[in-house]
Amino acid sequence: MAAAPPSLDGLRIERRDDTGRGPWRWLVPPVLLLAAAGGGWWWWTGPAQIAAVSTAAARETTVAPADAAVLNASGYVTARRQATVSSKVTGKLVAVLVEEGMAVREGQVLARLDDSTVRSQLALAEARLVASRRAIAEQEVRLNEAQLNLARTRRLVEEGVVGAADLDTDTAEVDSLAARIALSREQVVVAEREIDVFRTELDDMVIRAPFAGVAISKDAEEGEMISPVSAGGGFTRTGVSTLVDMDSLEIEVDVNESYINRVSDGQRVVANLDAYPDWDIPGAVITTVPAADRQRATVLVRIAFDELDPRILPDMGVNVAFLEDEPSEPRAEATRLLVPAAAARSREGLDIVYVLRGDLVERRAVRLGADVGNQVEVVSGLTAGERVVVEGPEDLADGDRVSVLE
C-alpha cells in the first residue's frame, strides 16, 4: 500500500492559552499614571531652589562717638612718583632685564642698547689721544735741539763769525716748535674731552632705574628700537618699563564744589578700597588743589595714608568718608558695631538684615546709626561676629535656605 503524501497541517504552531494573565494588563496604565502624578507632586512641593549669597561678619571697632562722616566721595589710589623709563638716545635693545611686578632699586640696570658703534668711536678717540701725546714728545726733542743751535748762534754772533740773520732764523725755529708743542697739548686736552663724550654716550646705552620702586609694565622686548621721542611710526618704542614708587601712594578724590567747604587740610578720613570693602584705612587730607574743574564742577583733594600696606595698589578704586573735625577737648572712645551698608535693607518701613543660621537665613529688625565709609553702624538688634547677607536675591525671605559664596 502506498504511503500518504506529506501535508502542511503538520507545520502548524499551537497557540498557548494566556487567558490566565489577561486581567493584569489592565492594571499597568493606572499604575503608570499614579507614578507620574506622584513625581509631579514631589517636584511641585519639594525643596525650593537654594539661593546663593555672600556674607560678612558684624565687627566691632573703637572710634570716637562723634566720628560721623560729613562728606563721602570716591576716587583712586595714585602714585606721586611714577615714570615710564626710556633711553636718552635712539638705539636697538639687546637686553631687557625687567619684568612686571619686579622690585627694583635706584640705579639698577633695566635694559641695554647696542653699543658697538659707540665703542668703536671711543677706541678711535683713545688712539688719537695716544698719538697726540707721542707727537708732543717728538716736538720737545726738536725744541731742545733748536735751543742748543740758538745758543751756538748767539756766541758766533758775539764773536762776529756769523751775521744777525742766522740768529733770527734760529730764534724763529725755537718759537715755532714751542708753539707747536702748546697746540699739541691743547689737542691732547680735546682728545681727552672727546673720550669723555664717548664714554658718556656709552653709558647712555645702559638704561637704569631713576628711583626705587616696582615695575608695573614691560613695554619693550629685545631687538626692538627705542627712542626718547616717537619715531618711525609705530615700530619704535618710547619706553622700556613703567616704575611706581610704592612709598608715594596717596588718594585723589573729586569733591563737588558745592561741598568743598566741608574739607580742610589735615582733616581725618576713613578710606575703603573697592577690593577690600570691610577694611577701614585711616588717613588725612594733604591739601585741596586750588583749582576747580569747569566741566565737572569738582575740586581735586589729595589724601595721605596713615600707614601703607602691600594690599594698596595704584589705580585702585576707593571710597572716602571725611570725618568731623575733632573738638578741642578729647572725647572718650566707644565701641561701635559695623556691617557693610549693602547688608541693611528696608522692609515695610523697618531696617532689617538677614542673619545666617547654618544654611538658613533669619530676618532680623535692627536700628541703624551713622555711616562710616561704606559701613553702617548697628545700634541694636545684632551682636559682633554674626554673619549677615551682603549680596543676595531681592526676594530673600525669612527661613530661606542659602548657599554661601566663597
CA 292, CA 257: separation in Å to the nearest integer? 7
Say if residue 394 is in the same domain as residue 274.
Answer: no
Radius of gyration of the chain (CA): 47
Query: Could you tell me if 387 and 56 are in contact, meaning their C-beta atoms sit under 8 angstroms apart?
Result: yes
Binned at pLDDT 50, 70 and 90, residue 46 comes out as very low
Query: What are the tens digits of pLDDT across the range 288-315?
Result: 999 998 899 999 999 999 999 999 999 9
Instruction: State the amino acid at position 271 in one-letter form.
Output: A
Residue 222, burial from CB neighbour count under 10 angstroms (0-12, 13-18, 19+): exposed
pTM comes to 0.56
Say if residue 96 is in the same domain as residue 222.
Answer: yes
Q: Chain-centre distance of CA 87, in angstroms?
A: 22
Is the Cα torsion angle 158, 160, 164, 169 positive or negative in sign?
negative
Binned at pLDDT 50, 70 and 90, residue 255 comes out as very high
CATH code, domain with 389: 2.40.420.20
pLDDT at 373: 64
Q: Which of 194, 239, 199 is nearest to 217 (CA)?
A: 239
| Percentage with pLDDT > 70 across the chain | 82
Say if residue 224 is in the same domain as residue 288.
Answer: no
Say if residue 276 is in the same domain as residue 307.
Answer: yes
Say if residue 100 is in the same domain as residue 121.
Answer: no
324's CB contacts (< 8 A; 6+ apart) are 66, 67, 68, 69, 70
Grid coordinates in use for 60? 566691632
pLDDT at 233: 56
What integer best gives the mean pLDDT of the chain? 82
Say if residue 107 is in the same domain as residue 225.
Answer: yes
Q: Is residue 7, in this structure, part of any structural domain at all?
A: no
261's CB contacts (< 8 A; 6+ apart) are none
Whether residue 195 has pLDDT greater than 80: yes
Query: What are the tens digits of pLDDT across the range 63-121?
Result: 544 456 788 899 999 999 999 999 888 889 999 999 998 999 999 999 999 989 899 99
pLDDT at 27: 58
Say if residue 151 is in the same domain as residue 277.
Answer: no
Q: Is residue 5, in this structure, part of any structural domain at all?
A: no
Binned at pLDDT 50, 70 and 90, residue 268 comes out as very high
Say if residue 87 is in the same domain as residue 228.
Answer: yes
pLDDT at 37: 58
DSSP H helical ranges for 90-236: 116-159, 164-204
Q: Is residue 44, in this structure, part of any structural domain at all?
A: no
> For the chain, how many structural domains are there in total?
4
CA 136, CA 128: separation in Å to the nearest integer? 13
Full domain range(s) for residue 137: 116-202
pLDDT at 47: 47
